[in-house]
Amino acid sequence: MQFKVRALTKDQYVVIETINAVDETQARQEIKSRGWFVSSIQKEADNRFPSLTGRALNKWKSTFSLLLFSKELLALLQAGLTIVESLEALVEKEKNEQTQNILMTLLAGVREGKRFSQTLHDQPTIFTALFIGIIQASERTSSLPSSLSRFIQYQERIDIIKNKIVSAMIYPTILLAVGGSVTIFLMTYVVPKFADVYKGTGREMPWSSQLLLDWGNFVAQHSSTLIVSLLGLVIIGAFYLHRSWKNGEFMELVRNLPGLSESFHIYYLSRLYLTLGMLLDGGIPIVTALTTVEKMLTSTMKQNLHRALQAIESGISLSDAFENNQLTTPISQRLLRVGERTGELGKMLTESANFYEGEISRWIDRFIRGFEPLLMAAIGLIVGTIVVLLYMPIFNLADGFS
């Protein structure tokens, strides 16, 4: 958004400028970073005419990639630049306005003397608590490049697992969309046409075909109402799916389906171990690390983790606390005990995640090989049944003529 700012420069000149910023606070920080005194600031009215496409396009363009930001910042720090110089370079090369505003806010905060982690904390919608915690721990040990490198490796591994799941669902989704479209087309257009043809024959039809043709007549008479109702159901379903996905309710529902609960439990355990291993290797205390990873789990696992955290605070070892609260498997339990004996708990947590990532990949492959043929058979059965029911009266007419 844009702000019209009236300010006093170092040379005692009054200037009026238009500043692009996320909010008024960021606009004020931008003016202060120039050494100017803000006299007044006013948000300019938005152009509402291209509201729908404009907002959608800006939202798409303003997607901030935390992984890309970490890679670029790490490359500049390893080249010998300071954090201020690195942020200045990133601001200068950035062409996207929204991303540039985010980087300018970070740069203004660091120039004011704030810690880098504090400037990240000021933008919680952009930077995750996990990333902020890693940066905060690195400031105590002066190991920002190594912490960034560790976060990049972690995020890339998480993205690999997510991409495997998304790729596995692309083909079934296409099948469902095509099969559903064909079925809707047959039931809303083809069946009513056949119903008109058969209406004047005066012959008795099989009850199944008659039921289908009655549906065709009903669609022909109430087509507009059915179209509006169908669109309403699609919109409501999409809204509910989006809300349940954001709240984690969708994953909790899928996790409880028969045959999938164990695989999803392993998936979340793998994420838990991988994240904990990275945080512990980065020097973050175990209690802080457990509090940080709590948000990425399902509601049931959150409760178990909270009880495990209370047990750890009372003096129980991590392996025992996890075992008592269903946060381990026989393999991970042994690895955790080895890590506690050798003092390499973070490494053993990462090894547990590596072990279960292999299991997740194999489960995805088995699921795709079994689910896709079943889905194709179901779609073919539905479409075939509709076609056969439509042509059964024709067969009866042919028998009558013969």
Give a yes or no: residue 138 inside a domain. no
Q: Mark out the alpha helices in 282-344 (DSSP H runs).
A: 286-293, 299-313, 318-324, 330-342
Is the predicted pLDDT of residue 219 greater than 80, yes or no?
Answer: no
pLDDT confidence tier of residue 240, bands split at 50, 70 and 90: confident
Q: Do 221 and 298 lie in a common domain?
A: yes
pLDDT confidence tier of residue 367, bands split at 50, 70 and 90: confident
| Residue 336 Cα distances to 100, 234, 283, 305, 317, angstroms | 43, 47, 18, 16, 10
The two structure tokens encoding residue 102: 């985010």
DSSP state of 127: S
Please indicate, yes or no, whether the overall pTM of this predicted structure exceeds 0.85: no
Give a yes or no: residue 57 inside a domain. no
Q: Do 13 and 90 lie in a common domain?
A: no
Q: Do 150 and 108 lie in a common domain?
A: no
Cβ atoms of residues 325 and 307 within 8 Å:
yes
Is the predicted pLDDT of residue 271 greater than 60, yes or no?
Answer: yes
Q: Do 201 and 116 lie in a common domain?
A: no
* Backbone torsions φ then ψ of 7, nearest 5 degrees: -140, 160
Is the predicted pLDDT of residue 156 greater than 70, yes or no?
Answer: yes
Name the burial class of residue 71, with classes exposed (0-12), middle (13-18) and buried (19+) by CB atoms within 10 angstroms of its CB: middle
Q: Do 244 and 382 lie in a common domain?
A: yes
Cβ atoms of residues 192 and 386 within 8 Å:
no
pLDDT confidence tier of residue 260, bands split at 50, 70 and 90: low
Cβ atoms of residues 313 and 289 within 8 Å:
no
Q: What is the pLDDT of residue 228?
A: 84
How is the chain split among helix, strand and coil, in percent rounded to 5? 75, 5, 20
The DSSP code sequence of 143-154 is -HHHHHHHHHHH
Paired with 43 in beta bridges are 3
Give a yes or no: residue 352 inside a domain. yes
Cβ atoms of residues 248 and 254 within 8 Å:
no
The two structure tokens encoding residue 372: 């896709």
Any idea what the CATH number is for the domain that residue 278 is in?
1.20.81.30
Q: Do 316 and 348 lie in a common domain?
A: yes
Is the predicted pLDDT of residue 51 greater than 50, yes or no?
Answer: no
- State the Cα–Cα distance between residues 23 and 41, nearest whole angstrom: 11
- State the Cα–Cα distance between residues 153 and 353, nearest whole angstrom: 13
Give a yes or no: residue 89 inside a domain. yes
Cβ atoms of residues 66 and 128 within 8 Å:
yes
The DSSP code sequence of 20-56 is E-SSHHHHHHHHHHTT-EEEEEEEPPP--TTHHHHHH
Q: Do 244 and 383 lie in a common domain?
A: yes
Note the residue count of the chain: 402
Q: What is the pLDDT of residue 165?
A: 74
- State the Cα–Cα distance between residues 119 and 139, nearest whole angstrom: 13
Q: Please compute the mean of the pLDDT values over residues 120-142 and round it to a whole number.
A: 80
Q: Do 236 and 277 lie in a common domain?
A: yes
Give a yes or no: residue 141 inside a domain. no
- State the Cα–Cα distance between residues 39 and 31, nearest whole angstrom: 10
Q: What is the pLDDT of residue 1?
A: 65
Q: Do 233 and 329 lie in a common domain?
A: yes
The whole domain housing 18 covers 2-45
User: How many domains does the chain contain in total?
Assistant: 3
Q: What is the pLDDT of residue 306?
A: 87
Q: What is the pLDDT of residue 336?
A: 87
Q: Do 248 and 384 lie in a common domain?
A: yes
Q: What is the pLDDT of residue 59?
A: 45
Q: Do 234 and 101 lie in a common domain?
A: no
- State the Cα–Cα distance between residues 142 and 265, nearest whole angstrom: 36
Paired with 7 in beta bridges are 15, 38
- State the Cα–Cα distance between residues 400 and 126, nearest whole angstrom: 73
Considering only residues 248 and 178, tell me which one the structure prediction assigns the higher pLDDT. Answer: 178
Q: Do 178 and 260 lie in a common domain?
A: yes
Considering only residues 240 and 244, tell me which one the structure prediction assigns the higher pLDDT. Answer: 240
Q: Give the count of beta carbons closer than 10 Å to the beta carbon of residue 218.
A: 14
Considering only residues 200 and 150, tell me which one the structure prediction assigns the higher pLDDT. Answer: 150
Q: What is the pLDDT of residue 50?
A: 41
- State the Cα–Cα distance between residues 341 and 393, nearest whole angstrom: 77
Paired with 8 in beta bridges are 14, 37
Q: Please compute the mean of the pLDDT values over residues 371-384 and round it to a whole number.
A: 84
Give a yes or no: residue 398 inside a domain. yes
Is the predicted pLDDT of residue 288 greater than 70, yes or no?
Answer: yes
Please write the tens of the pLDDT for every residue from 62-105: 468 888 888 888 898 888 888 888 888 888 888 888 888 888 88
SS3 122: coil
